């Protein structure tokens, strides 16, 4: 399978009433997953030039980080990739923990892995539902959101928030898991493989879906690396790269899972990678639940981590620390770190720089959606305009993270 | 320091020694902190250094993870820095290159010829810090509107404006 190319006799011209025309797809187009605008030069049905235009959702979050204390920044991260907020929380707090040199207890690490894998399944379910919906298969959406609802309920039970959990804190977790959480989690994990089979039955054997996705949106492995694609998009081009393996964090090196890859480099390959990835995430989540042992969920750093409510009522120093952390924040030693994690969409890296005060001097998010979207022209030039919708869906972009 | 695997050396020290042996003028200034290695590369050598790091058999930094700017403060001299985070998809090590820029002369060579993913990262850094990447094929604003005045992530740019923004 080779990539679709523009025949050499075509010359890109931009004149109205000529054979080629420029159309603006978005920002209100429903299949652009938010507010993405594409400037497409079309020759008949064929796209000869595609230029993404972003920034419609820019809210200056990176500027805001510099004016907020470290613990206040966590809630901003929720709003970036709003389908995978726990992944954003994790990258941010782990960058802070690296600067502070904190040691996170075993139980907190395991809960982080468990919650992140649940969130990854949830994020992939939204992708699956909307991707199928874009291509014209409406039923899948309802099945996906039914399962996602169960995951959101679990996240809500642990953190109190469905879409904006802010569950991870610098130094551990907001609080321990509630009573009965493990059982609810096991119930979900027992039922999930059947739901996954259902999704496969709905889509994977569907001839229309296959014809709409196979051979579309080709990007070779060399191009994918050159364009900085990460996560499922890179693995869909046959590169077995996963940050959880390459630079493990949170104890991922102790979990047994595979890195699914597909060699076809097209929309279908990226679809299959994500479908198989949900199975792997399920596998990790099952292992994480079985490894949950009682223990502390916060690091032993009274000047950074908020004390327990009980301790505050009985210990003077706990009360003082609580007051100081909330009122003045905690000082982070000067330095800079770049902390990459494997989010549901690819490498999510946080660059954090501290000057020594209670507020960071610079926080930068390397959003996987931002980079994956920049490769859209390579995949889409030479394809039909209707396939652009399938290609955007296969990239799994979230504009909140692209525009920040 | 913690003992977790996230704090193991991201850049093996034999690699640092090898790089300094090859090109001391590019990789002479090195900072090792928190398990991360940073080279402060002279501005005029950044493109050559990146090309070399991509091709050098012991390094093989074929993946540009990120480029981000930073403002060290209005009074600082040099004021701006541009950080390049490189990663190897075969050897799994990472490295950071840093270029320091004065406020009066914020030009630096573009690495879009080395990794094409640099395109949007450099546009973002230009948009938010006003760093000009010479040789970039399409250096336009990316997040903010084309007619925006100023560069929003500079320290002297206010967090809040006083007038509503309207398209001219």
User: Residue A151: its pLDDT value, please?
Assistant: 93
Q: Does A107 touch chain B (CB under 8 A)?
A: no
Percentage of chain A with pLDDT > 70? Answer: 98
* Nearest-by-CA chain B residue for A244: B6
User: Does the CB of A105 have a partner CB in chain B at under 8 Å?
Assistant: no
Q: Is A8 helix (H, G, I), strand (E, B) or coil?
A: coil
Q: Is the pLDDT of residue B8 over 60?
A: no
**A98–chain B Cβ distance below 8 A for any pair:** yes
DSSP B45: G
C-alpha dist (Å) from residue A114 to A28, A175, A281, B13:
36, 15, 9, 34
Per CB-CB distance under 8 Å, the chain A contacts of B98 are none
Q: Does B14 touch chain A (CB under 8 A)?
A: no
Q: Per-residue pLDDT for B12 more than 70?
A: yes
Given pLDDT bands bounded at 50, 70 and 90, which one contains residue B17? confident
pLDDT above 90 (res A125): yes
Given A63, A101, A249, which is nearest B153 (Cβ)? A63
Tell me the average pLDDT across A33-43.
Answer: 85
Helices (H), A14-84: 61-65, 70-78
Q: Inform me whether the C-beta atom of residue B10 falls under 8 Å from chain A C-beta atoms.
A: yes
Residues 23-52 in B contacting A (C-alpha not used; CB under 8 Å): 33-36, 38
Does the pLDDT value for residue A325 go beyond 80? yes
> Is residue B95 classed as helix, strand or coil in its secondary structure?
strand
- What are the pLDDT digits (tens) for A340-373? 999 999 899 999 999 988 999 999 999 899 999 9
Please tell me the predicted confidence (pLDDT) of residue A29.
Answer: 77
What is the predicted pLDDT for the residue at A400?
87
Q: What pLDDT is stored for residue A289 in this prediction? A: 92
DSSP run (H or E) holding B121: helix B118-129
A306 close to A72: Cβ distance less than 8 angstroms: no
**Is the CB of residue A45 less than 8 Å away from at least one CB of chain B?**
no
Contact A62 B128 (CB under 8 A): yes
pLDDT digits (tens, 9 = 90+) for B129-151: 999 999 888 888 899 888 888 88
**What is the distance in angstroms between the Cα of B166 and the nearest Cα belonging to chain A?**
14
Where residue A2 falls among pLDDT bands split at 50, 70, 90?
low
What phi and psi values does residue A379 have, to the nearest 5 degrees?
-80, -30
**Cα distance between the two ends of chain B:** 53
How far is the C-alpha of A391 from the C-alpha of A388, rounded, in Å? 5
Closest CA to A82 of A345, A393, A372, A337: A345
Q: Which residue has the tokens 């206010």?
A: B158
Interatomic CA distance for residues A51 and A56, integer angstroms: 15
Q: What is the pLDDT of residue A14?
A: 60
A130 phi and psi angles, rounded to 5 deg: -75, -35
At A92 the pLDDT is 93
Q: Which residues contact B48 (CB under 8 A, 6 or more apart)?
A: B26
Q: How far is A320 from chain B (nearest CA, A)?
A: 26
ipTM over 0.85: yes
Q: What is the mean pLDDT of residues A263-269?
A: 89
State the Cα–Cα distance between residues B97 and B46, nearest whole angstrom. 8
Q: Residue B30: is its pLDDT beyond 60? A: yes
pLDDT for the residue A18? 63
Residue A176 gets which letter from DSSP?
Answer: P
Mean predicted lDDT score pLDDT of chain B: 84
pLDDT band at A45 (very low <50, low <70, confident <90, very high): confident
- Put simply, the chain A residues between 264 and 283 with a CB less than 8 A from any chain B CB are none
Q: Identify which of B4, B35, B65 has the shortest CB distance to residue A349.
A: B65
Tell me the pTM. Answer: 0.90
In sequence order, what are the residues at sequence separation of 6 or more whose Cβ sits closer than 8 angstroms to the Cβ of residue A97?
Answer: A104, A170, A171, A299
For residue A94, the chain B residues in CB contact (below 8 A) are 6
- Report the 10 Å Cβ neighbour count for A47: 25
**Is A311's Cβ below 8 Å from some Cβ in B?**
no
Across A182-195, average pLDDT: 92
d(CA A127, CA A386): 18
Residue B82 has a pLDDT of 93
pLDDT digits (tens, 9 = 90+) for A284-299: 999 999 998 898 888 8
- How far is A226 from chain B, CA to nearest CA, in Å? 5
A343 touches chain B (CB under 8 A): no
Asked if the Cβ–Cβ distance from B6 to A249 is below 8 Å, we say: yes
Q: Please tell me if residue B82 touches chain A, with a CB cutoff of 8 Å.
A: no
Residue B167 scores a pLDDT above 80: no
The span from the CA of B13 to the CA of A232, in Å, is: 31
The pLDDT of residue A113 is above 90: yes
Q: Check B65 against A62: CB less than 8 A apart.
A: no
The predicted pLDDT at position A352 comes to 92
Identify the pLDDT of residue B164: 67
pLDDT for A154 equals 93
Is A267 exposed, middle or buried, given 0-12, 13-18 or 19+ CB atoms closer than 10 A? buried
Average pLDDT estimate for A58-70: 90
The reply to whether B143 touches chain A by the CB within 8 Å rule is: yes
B125 in contact with chain A, both atoms CB, cutoff 8 A: no
Question: Hey, what's the torsion of the CAs at A210, A367, B95, B115, to 10 degrees?
Answer: 60
User: How far B16 CA sits from the closest chain A CA (Å)?
Assistant: 18
Tell me if the bond preceding B78 is cis, omega within 30° of 0: yes
Instruction: Return the bridge partners of A214, or none.
Output: none
> How does pLDDT run across B63-99, given as a tens digit for each residue?
999 999 999 888 888 889 999 999 998 888 889 999 9
For residue B119, give the chain A residue with the closest CA: A374
Angstroms from B39 CA to nearest CA on chain A: 13
The pLDDT of A184-202, averaged and rounded, is 91
Across the interface, of A55, A63, A227, the residue whose CB is closest to B159 is: A63
Above pLDDT 90, what percent of chain A? 40
Confidence of residue A13 (pLDDT cuts 50, 70, 90): low
Does A63 contact B85 at a Cβ distance shorter than 8 Å?
no
């Amino acid at each position: 399978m080779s990539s679709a190319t523009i025949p050499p006799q075509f010359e890109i011209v931009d004149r109205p009433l000529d054979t080629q025309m420029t159309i603006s797809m978005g920002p209100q187009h429903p299949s652009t997953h938010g507010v993405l605008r594409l400037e497409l030069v079309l020759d008949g049905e064929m796209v000869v030039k595609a230029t993404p235009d972003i920034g419609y959702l820019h809210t200056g979050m990176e500027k805001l980080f510099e004016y907020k204390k470290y613990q206040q920044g966590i809630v901003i991260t929720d709003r970036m990739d709003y389908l995978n907020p726990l992944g954003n929380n994790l990258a941010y707090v782990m960058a802070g923990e690296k600067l502070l040199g904190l040691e996170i207890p075993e139980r907190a690490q395991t809960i982080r892995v468990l919650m992140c894998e649940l969130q990854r399944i949830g994020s992939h379910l939204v992708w699956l539902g909307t991707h199928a919906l874009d291509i014209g298969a409406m039923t899948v959406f309802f099945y996906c959101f039914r399962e996602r609802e169960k995951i959101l309920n679990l996240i809500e039970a642990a953190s109190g928030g469905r879409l904006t959990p802010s569950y991870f804190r610098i130094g551990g977790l907001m609080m321990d898991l509630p009573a009965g959480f493990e059982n609810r989690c096991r119930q979900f994990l027992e039922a999930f493989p059947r739901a996954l089979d259902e999704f496969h039955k709905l889509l994977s054997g569907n001839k229309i879906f296959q014809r709409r996705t196979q051979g579309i949106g080709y990007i070779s492995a060399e191009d994918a690396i050159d364009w900085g694609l990460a996560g499922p998009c890179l693995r869909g081009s046959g590169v077995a790269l996963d940050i959880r393996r390459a630079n493990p964090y949170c104890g991922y090196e102790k979990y047994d899972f595979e890195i699914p890859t597909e060699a076809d480099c097209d929309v279908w390959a990226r679809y299959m990678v994500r479908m198989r990835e949900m199975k792997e995430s399920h596998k990790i989540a099952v292992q994480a639940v079985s490894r949950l042992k009682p223990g502390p969920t916060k690091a032993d750093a009274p000047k950074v981590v908020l004390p327990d409510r009980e301790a505050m009522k009985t210990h003077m120093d706990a009360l003082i620390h609580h007051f100081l952390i909330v009122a003045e924040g905690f000082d982070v030693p000067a330095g800079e770190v770049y902390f990459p994690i494997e989010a549901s969409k690819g490498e999510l890296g946080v660059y954090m720089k501290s000057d020594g005060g209670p507020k960071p001097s610079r926080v930068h998010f390397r959003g996987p959606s931002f980079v994956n979207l920049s490769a859209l022209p390579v995949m889409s030039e030479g394809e039909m305009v209707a396939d652009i919708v399938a290609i955007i869906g296969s990239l799994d972009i979230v504009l909140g993270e692209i525009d920040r | 320091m913690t003992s977790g695997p996230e704090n193991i050396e991201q850049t093996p020290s034999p690699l640092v020694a090898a790089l300094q042996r090859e090109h001391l003028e590019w990789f002479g200034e090195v900072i090792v902190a928190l398990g991360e290695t940073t080279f402060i590369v002279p501005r005029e050598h950044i493109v050559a250094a990146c090309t070399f790091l991509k091709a050098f058999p012991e390094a093989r930094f074929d993946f540009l993870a990120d480029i981000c700017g930073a403002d060290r403060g209005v009074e600082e001299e040099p004021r701006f820095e541009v950080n390049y985070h490189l990663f190897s998809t075969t050897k799994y090590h990472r490295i950071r290159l840093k270029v320091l820029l004065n406020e009066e002369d914020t030009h630096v060579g573009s690495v879009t010829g080395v990794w094409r993913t640099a395109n949007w990262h450099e546009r973002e850094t230009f948009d938010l810090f006003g760093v000009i990447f010479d040789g970039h094929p399409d250096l336009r604003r990316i997040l903010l509107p084309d007619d925006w005045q100023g560069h929003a992530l500079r320290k002297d740019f206010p967090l809040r404006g006083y007038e509503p923004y309207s398209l001219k």
